[in-house]
Amino acid sequence: MATMNWRELARQKPCEIVLTGEKISQQLEDEGGQLNELIFGIRSLNFLDITQVTTLKSISPSIGKLHGNLTNLVLQGNKLPSIPGKLLILMFCSR
């Protein structure tokens, strides 16, 4: 199974990232149930979709680094027990 190369993804500086399905779920499980911190350093990112990633256990407070460009965040079909306060700040500061 091919895995997501986080460093290469960050190097590409995408505007949109969609993470979904069994392969990414397995990779996140293997990596401790969190997104790689490199994602939060992608300044060009304005759309992040994390859908049907059932092994996502938490969102790092580092998501606050995306303030400014991130306009859409989709968290659907996961088992997050809570979200960090930084995410709430992101939501209200972008309005």
Each residue's pLDDT tens digit, 19-78: 999 999 999 999 999 999 999 999 999 999 999 999 998 888 888 888 778 889 898 988
For residue 20 the two structure tokens come to 């979904």
| Cα torsion angle, 45, 46, 51, 54, sign | positive
The pLDDT value recorded for residue 52 is: 93
Give the three-class secondary structure for 73: strand
What does pTM read for this prediction?
Answer: 0.85
